[in-house]
Amino acid sequence: MSDQTNMSEHMPALVPSLTVSDPRQTLEWFERLGFRTVFAMEMPDGTIGHCHVDRNGAQVMFGPACADSRPGATGVQLYITLRGEHVDDLHERARQEGLTITMPPTDQFWGDRIFNVVHPDGYTFIFAEHVRDVSPEEIDAAVKQWADAAVPA
């Protein structure tokens, strides 16, 4: 168990919290992506009742389902911007770990390079690296091109 002294001083204003089917497996999954444990609350039976992980400032909390929640969420995606590291390196780590990658590193019109990895309960994590600055005019042109391509002829 981690020391919680003065933890609220260091907490970001927003930390997503996920309901998962297997908190211990989820902790191992995050470790495979280079997250470290900030806090793990072990229950008397040895299961994890709540966990908080961090990867260079990107923080996530998770725990088991309670009476008013269930694991997994269709459509939930978490966008994590990497700082001081390359998305291609993390993608390679995820690939070597055998994690489910649904999109390889791809440059996006808004200037980020991203890849997607899916947690066993269906949550999509999008890891991003800012690779180039894009002008408002370039964004507008790219959005128009994307919208035109999305409309059926």
For residue 49 the two structure tokens come to 């009742």
Residues 21-55 as b/e (b if ≥16 CB within 10 A, e otherwise) read eebeebbebbeebebeebebeeeeeeebeebbbbb
Per-residue pLDDT of the chain (153 residues; tens, 9 = 90+): 444 444 556 678 789 999 999 999 999 999 999 999 999 999 999 999 999 999 999 999 999 987 666 776 666 889 999 999 999 999 999 999 999 999 999 999 999 999 999 999 989 999 999 999 999 899 889 888 888 887 665
Domains of the chain: 1-71 (3.30.720.120), 72-153 (3.30.720.110)
pTM of the model: 0.82
In degrees and rounded to multiples of 5, residue 135 shows phi and psi of -75, 160
pLDDT at 87: 97
CA atoms within 13 A on the CB side of 18: 26
